[in-house]
Structures are given as structure tokens and as C-alpha cells.
A and B are shown apart, each in its own frame.
Chain A
Amino acid sequence: MKFTLSWLKHHLETDATLDQIADALTDLGLEVEGIEDPAAKLRDFTIAKVTHAEKHPDADKLKVCKVQSDEGETQIVCGAPNARAGITVVLAKPGTYIPGLDITIKVGNIRGVDSFGMMASEKELELSDEHNGIIELPSGEVGENFADWLAANDPAKVDPVIEIAITPNRPDALGVRGIARDLAARGLGTLKPCEVDPVAASFKADLNVSIDEDTLDGCPVFYGRLIKGVKNGPSPEWLQQQLRAIGLRPISFLVDVTNWFTYDLNRPLHVFDADKVAGNLRVHRAAGGEVITALDDKDYTLQPGQMVISDDTGVESIAGIMGGAATGCTEETVNVFVESAYWDPVQIAYAGRALKINSDARYRFERGVDPAFTPEGLEHAVRMIVDIAGGEVSEVIHAGRVPDTARAYKLDAKRVISLVGMDIPESTQRQTLTALGFKLEGNMASVPSWRPDVQGEADLVEEVARIASLTKLQGVPLPRMTSGVPKPILTDGQLRQQAARRTAATLGYNECVTYTFIDREAATLFGGGDDATMLENPISSEMSHMRPALLPGLLRAAARNQARGFMDMALFEVGAAFHGGEPGQQHNLISGVLIGQTAPKDVHGAARPVDLFDAKADAEAILRAIGAPAKVQIMRGASEWWHPGRHGKICLGPKKVMAVFGELHPKVLSTMGIKGPAVGFTIWVDEIPTPKNKSATRPALAATDLQAVDRDFAFVVDADVAALTLVNAAAGADKALIADVRIFDEFIGGALGEGKKSLAVTVRLQPKDKTLKDAEIEAVSAKIVEKVTKATGGVLRG
């Protein structure tokens, strides 16, 4: 919403400065977004008089002038044809910035003659495009500030333009008068009266208006008057200037009047060229399919139910949104029908959205104009038209009734104080509401018809608070809910995510936050991409589906980094993935990917390509950090985006999968644009059982001083025997004595023959009450061999 300072003063009697007004507006909730003050750039220019002018000795077109300024007589070389003795001019002294030239004037020497400043043209001061000569003022004293002279003699030239943001609840502030009312309530001046002297009717119009029964809920009231014999044409200069100042293009007087009242009183109007209207006007609902060429010269096809105004030949106006081109006013219009109607905000909002028309009328009607002001608004417009363009005015034509918006809410002064936390006396509260147009009877406040947003007691609180000024609010400590040291607040799940995140970073992974929506192709590769998780209005096809997993986002990120020349990386993300499109169909994941070498190549030869055991180690470390049970099963058969032979699920049972690690499927990687292999892991955080024992106490440490004994075994087994099967079998040989079983060597093929491998384990025996004797060690060893043979079919390697 834009308006000029002088326009505001049309409604507000005030001595406040522009800065005071701007500060108050922002504080009132009418946030100032920008101020254009043409005077600001003219402050340094003063008025001077040319006392003497003669031809430059060395230049035919230049003159050497003596100029009387507030600092005495000075010499200026000037090229303007009108520079001559006796004229009053606008002087720029050395050091003054010239906005139209974007330079700062310096003392100069032009062909051997010194020049101490410049006399400005209108173009140089950005007042107009006039550049045929320097400004000659009809009045003005030497030394007078030029901006002040303009303000006094040609105020429109220095009228500041204020732009404010209007929140959806304040339709009344979409008119300059509403803004003035707020400022007056704040105490920044007095609201001027806004009365109209209706033009007396001189005839009865032969035009009738009707509202269909089924349209009364959308158009409860319609007023109009016919004016015959107007002289349309360009608007008066002041009107054109005001419209231009706020960015509107003057069209013709009749059209400009409607635009002016739209901004002045938030009263959108429409003018029909009465000679182009056939028969009577009827407000009704479109049947659907009608096509109308609107005032923006575009064709719109109406949908059933949208409100329109038709004459006997068809639809002439999209009600409350935009008039039709066929009956629009032109310079030639002599008979005009002026419409002032009230349209239901919700219906206008839906129609405007469906037709995709953004007009000043729609913007206002969908936020809510003052229904009670419908007839009076018409009289304002008719008065202005007749005063300026003449004409005879018909009796008022109207249909429907002004809707009853009367309502009142209780002003609870104590509650206001309690909610806002400011001590605002009840008298002040009542005064504020009265100034805003509320009528108080007892403690009931009747809402003015121009404030559709006020729908309850809470709205009264808001009005009182914002006029009182929230800037003055002083903080008051919020008491603690409990005394003493605050209790911890994070849930188990939150603590786990935090621990997982920080563990992954400790392991050398960089945390990413990737978009929750990804492209369909990537989503499909990872088990998603269906319609349930699709967005109806994605911002691009790259962001069309809710991610079914974190890996696709990480792989896309990895591909981008590879494209930048970074080939080795460890990336991870903690976040939600989506298994459906309903609220709650999301689950928390932690995923990591490793790509390239474990390190840059170095003199130690330590770098090697990452492999799935790196991913496994990292997954295990994170699981450990978040308290997952140590005893797990490793199973195959995870989703198809993993390498079929190179992945494993870390499970607590066939159905309780805590994590997956492995190498990503090469086809998936090539589709995602990754160069070379990649390994990774995913952890289902919420699947990890929470410990039942919440006590901080640990069990006592059972350590013994008796020496442990390590024994190594090598078994030849079939190549497809899982190492973990062998380890578990060995560990089961004597659960009390065997403290640990570790695989330390794997050897495949060679002398063992096709399909065989050798697995070497070291078994640690930890006696608890006495040192082991050889015979006992032999007995356990035999048991280990027997168990392993039974479980794996393997034999002890000779």
C-alpha cells in the first residue's frame, strides 16, 4: 500500500514529521517498507540571483555569471541559453551532489575562467525531463533552501511517498483514511471529517439493477447512479500526480476516480459506459463457460457459480474483480453508470484465485471492504465526478440491503493487562477503542463496520496493545516451573540421534542436510517414488517426491562433490524418511556413505580403497554409541539397492533389523552419477531397543589376576560358510572359560582347492579361580574343534 504524505494529510491534521509518522506506522503494525522523499536529495540546493552575465571571452556559447548567494557574490560559468542577469535560480555550491548527473560539483576552470558551482536545470534535479535551460523561479529569496521553497510553492514535487506492508487482517488500512485513523488513535494528529454532500437527483434512470436470489449471499447489496452528460478526459493535475506517485497510470478522469477512491477510502468502484450497456444490469452466478474480455484485454472463461454482472446481451463484468472491456469507459464516454457494491470476501477470494486475476478490487474485496459504507462511497464518487466533469445525476438505484455486521465484545481491562503485561489504565483502553471507531456501552465494545477482522475479545486486546505501543513493552522474567536445577529434557530418541550424529563426525564423516524431497528416479531406486509420496506442486522435477531413504540425497551430494574434483569423502545425514503420504508415515534414519580412498595417497602407503568393512565398522561404532545390544546376527537379503553379495543386515532376530551396511549396487551408483564404487550404511534408530535398566549403577567389574591363555586354530571350511557361524560355534564350546574368539586370517583357494577356505581363529581362555593346566586346555581345544566341525562341516587344518 502506497500513499503520499500530502494524501495522508488530506485525512489527518498533524504537525508530526515524516520520521515520526514512519516510526508510528511501523510500531502500529503498518510496517513501513520504504519511503521515497524527493526533498531529501534537494536539501543542499539554495536559491540565488544572477546579478550580471557576460559572454565567456573564449567560448561563444558560455556565459560568465555573477551570482548572489547566501555566501555573497560568486562566479559561475554557465552554458544555459537562458542564463542572464536578473533571474532567480537554483544554486549548487561546490561539494553538492547533483542527483540527475550523479556527480558532485567541484570548483572548476572552464577555458581559463574559474567557476564556483552550478545553476541547475529541472532534469539535473530529477524534477522533470526539462533540460533546455536552467530553472527560473518566479519567487524566492537569496539563500532560501530550494526544498523548502518547493514545499511551499509546488508541494507535489516534494511529496514523500510512503509504502507500508498491510497484514491480511487490516483491510481498513488499504485506504489512506484507515491509516490516518490509526495515527490519530496513536495521538499523532486529528482525523479530519469525511462527509459528503450528495448530488441531488434530477431524473429517474431507465436502468434497473437486480440481484438473483442465489447470489444474495455473495452480493448482499448493490448501489449505483447514472450520470448523464459528463465530459470525460484527462484528470486534473493533482489527481494525476497522486496516482502517479503511488505507481498508478492515469487513464481518464472517470477511471481515475474509481482508482483514487479505491486507495483513498478502500472503496473499490466500477464505472460502466451507460451507452454500451444494453437494458438492465443483473447480478447473478455464471453458468460456466461464458467468456469475457476484461479491462486488461485478456479473455477469461468463467466457472459455474462465479459472480458476474450482466446486461441484456450477456456478461459485462467479473463481479468485484474486474470490469469488462466492452462496457468500459473511454475518453468519449458521456453517460456513465457508477457502481458501488459489496462482495463476499470468501467468494471473491476463490473466484480470484481460480481466474488468476490480481486486481486492486479483488485484493480489497477478499480482505473485506466496509459494507456499511457502500452507499456513501457511491456519493463521494458521484460528487467528485459532477464537480469536475459536470453532468446530471439520476436517483439512486439499488438492490439488496447492507448486511448487518453489528456485534459487540466485552472489554475486560484486567485481562488486557494480564495478557499484554503492560499497565494500561482502563480509561486509556476505552479511549483507544473509541478513537478506532468502536462504540462503548458499559464494558461492551461495538465493532465498527470497517473492521471485519475483529471477531472476539482477543482482538480488542490486540487493538489496545498496538495503539499503546509494544515498543514500550518491558520484559518480565518468566518464573521457572520448578525450583532448583532444571531437569534434563531430551527424550531417549533425541539423545540417540545426538550421540549418533557426534559419533559419525568423530569417525570422520561430514554431516549433510539434504532436501527432503528428491527426484522420482532417485526415489524409485530406493523403494519410493510412488504417488502417495508425490507432491502435487513441486518446485521442480528434481524435488518431486518425499525421500524413502537418506542414501539417494547423500549419493547426489557425493556426485556433486565428485564433479568438483573431490573424489574421497565420508558423508552422513540424520533425519526422517517417508514410507507413506500420511502424517506420521515417517521414520528416523542415520545413513553414511564412503567413497574413494580411506585417505589421500601418502609416503606411508596407508591409503586404500574404502570397502564394506569400513562401513561395517562405522555402523557398529554408531550402534555401540547409541546403546544397541552387542550380541547381533548378521544376515543377508537386504533391499535391491545393495550389492547382492556384499552387504549385511545387523539384526536382533530375523525381523528386528537395526542396520544395513555394504557396497551400493553398481547400477544404482551409475544411475546416481557416482564414479567408482561406494559403501555405506543405514541405521534405523527407532528400532534399537531402549535399555530396561535405567539405573546409573554399573554391575561390579569381574576381573581376575589369573593369566589368560590364547590358542590359535585354523579350520578348512566350504567357501560359503559364514565366519560368524564358526565364531559362535567356538565360543559355545565353553561359555564360562572362553572370553573371546577372533578371526585373524582368511585364506581362499590355493592348495585348499576350489570352493574351500581356511579361517584362522584365536581363542582366549580366561580362568577365573585357578591357573589352567595343560590337560584342561587340551580338553577345551578338543571341544572347540568338535563344535566347529559340527556347525560348519570344517576340519582342523593340519
Chain B
Amino acid sequence: MKKKVLSALLVTALMATMVAGCGSNSGSGSKAKASLADGGKVLNIYCWNEEFKSRLEDHYPGYTKVDATTGKIGDVTVKFTIVPSDDNAYQNNLDSTLKKQKDAAADDKIDLFLVEADYALKYVDTDYTVNLADLGITSSDLADQYSYTQDIVKDSNGNLKGSSWQACSAGLIYNREVAKAVLGTDDPAKVQEAVGSWAKYNETAAKVAGAGYVMCSVNDTYRVYSNNVSGKWVQNDKIVVDANMKNWVDDSKKLVDSKAENTNDLWSDDWAKAKYPDGKTFCYFGPAWFFNFCLDSGEEGSIANKGGWGYCVGPQSYYWGGTWICAANNTDNKTLVTDIIKTMTTDKAVLKEIAQKDADCVNSKTVLAELSSDNSGNLALLGGQNPYKQLADGAEKVDLSNLSKYDQACNEEFQKAMGNYFKGNCSYEEALESFYKAVQAKHPALTY
């Protein structure tokens, strides 16, 4: 009798799980047309930090703040769901909510969500995002944007699925004190000469190390190399390490061995020490958002606080980060969603406001030209330097033809694995093997 009960239980449990397994098997492959509606009472915005919320609070006309994560536009309640990116938490949450989007209650439907360049294609190339043309945003509305910011959010049929208010071209942010001590000048043009190519950069690094400083972390230069590759990370489902990535490994290994660069992880406490004079570091690599968000300019004693940084383009043009706004399919606030995207990413008056209040490098050729032409773009933390000319030139040069939806996993794991090689714990081949395995765990369909 007991055995019969047990086996009956097991069979039931088995059946239950089989049914559960089959029930949730609905892919995103269907080619349904966007379904958009109006009249929703709640506008749900999914994002990973406070940035977009504060932009909306400060610059969107008619937005009133209610509390930390809610606001009002007219009689529509704006609700922010903020989940940090760490450990993929943001995407995990977004994915599971998006998959339930069709059947969700009107007030729970996602209307807008934000994505980063490293994984934008994962969302853009599906029906979960809405073509901007379907919202009535035309190419003439977007003409003033930098084309690279649009390439990131184009699906495989060339439809534009998102828009950004930032153009994150990036360069080399150097410590003026150290530049004077090592190069004898802190003039951006002269410093640029000293770091204008990788050969020059490596020469300068040797001098910097000789004077008792470090250049930066190997992870700072990573993006400069990874943006200038000749092929995608994944080709025909095979992970491919580009020649330029190998260059990063070789150059970095030499610099680490000669103590000209360190191996600190980005955002770590060790890495952050360079924001202060005691960090004895020559430079950071970063875009405009780096000035405001990452240099501790509000802290007494930091280099930024004393206006001690300078900005130049560096060895190669590249971009880093940026946030794109996507409209979610099945939104019930079509008009408002359209207006937010239009206002926040194409309205020149709003964009100029953002640039001046938040020192953001905005996605408008006209505004950047205005900022670089007079003193309105001078930044105190750069010792009064106006970086907008260089930032605008850089944004024109960024080339994103080699983006893939696997970039996030590949970039993260490549840096983590190669760190072991730089520290001398293993050979390049062994680190590479470890990198392949880590990417494969995240994307089981890939081979190497």
C-alpha cells in the first residue's frame, strides 16, 4: 500500500513538471505586429539606476515627483522599477516580466525600458521592442543624432528600435599634476601627442612608470581595443577572439610586467584610489558621464574637486556605455511613450539643459557644436577645459558594425580570464580556455 501511494505521488509530480515545462515554451520568434494602445493609467519604466529617473525629473516638462520611485505626468502615474545590473539581475527581472507582458494587467505592463549597448541587440532583435517608426518618430526627427547611437539599436532588418540622449564617445582623462611631472606639460594638445597612438602610449607609459606612477588599469584600456575590432565576438555561433583583442592582451601583459599598468577591476576600491592624488595614477579612460558620475568631484581632496583633470582623445576613438530608451510592445501609453522618447532624445533645448546641468555628452550634433564654440561647455573638474570639440569629433568616428548580442558575456569574461594571465598565474592559452568555458556557461549554444 505504502509503495503504491509513493509511486502515485512520484508519477503525479513527474506529470506536473512535464506539463509545467511544456506550458512555458513560447519563444519570441513570432513576427507579430506591434500592438499599441492608449489610455493607460500607469507608465511603467524599467531601469537599473537613478540616472534616467533624475533626467526625467529634472528635464521633462510637466513631470512632478511623488516619491523615490514614482512621479506623475498629467494624471498618469509614472512608476520606476529599478533593479541593479549586478549579477544580471536587471535583465533577469526584465526578461521574465517581458515574457508575461501580453497577459499582464494594464497597470503592470512595461511601457518603457532602458538597455545598454553591450546587450541592446538581445532586445532590439525581438518583437518585445517597438519600431520607432510605428510610434510616429521619423528619421527627420532623429537626423541630429550621431549615427553610431542608432546603429546599436537597429534590428537585423534595419528598423530603429530605440533612442538615446547620450553620445558616449570617450577618451583619455589625465591627471594634470602627473602630466606636468612626467611630460613637462598639461596642455591637452601636447598630451594628446604623447598618447596619440598605441606605440606612443606605450612609450609614455614607460616614462610614467619610471617616474613612480602607474598609467592606469589594463581594464581601463580594454574598451579602446574592443571597440576597434575587425570582426564580431561571435561568428556563426563560434566565439572568435579578434586580432585587436590579442593586441590588448600582449600590450597589457608587457605594461603589467613593467609595472606601468595595474590589474585593478573597474569600480573596485583599489581602482577608485586613483581619483585622489595619493593614487599616483596618470589617467582614466572614460566618456562624458564618467566626469560627473565617477570622479568624486564633490569630495574634498579629490583631483576632480581641484579641477586637476585634463581630457584628450587618446590612442584611438571609442565609446563606452550609454543608455538607450526602448518602447515595450503592448504598451498602453503609446502617446506618452512617444513624447518621452522624442523630448528626451531629440529636443535640442532639453538636450542642452542636460549637457549643462549634468555634464552629459548629449546626442545632438547641433548642441555639441554650440557647447564647443563658446565657454558654456567649460568644465570645472577639467580645470576649465572645454572637452566638447573632442567628444563631438570622437562620436563621429565611432564604428559599431561589429556588435553582437553576446558582447556583454564576452567582454566581461575576457577581462576576468585575462586578469589571471596578467598576474602571471597561467598562460595565455589557459586563460583563453577558461574564457571560452565561462562564455559557454552563459550561452550554451556557442562553440569555440
Same complex for A and B? Answer no
B interface residues with partner A (beta carbon < 8 Å): none
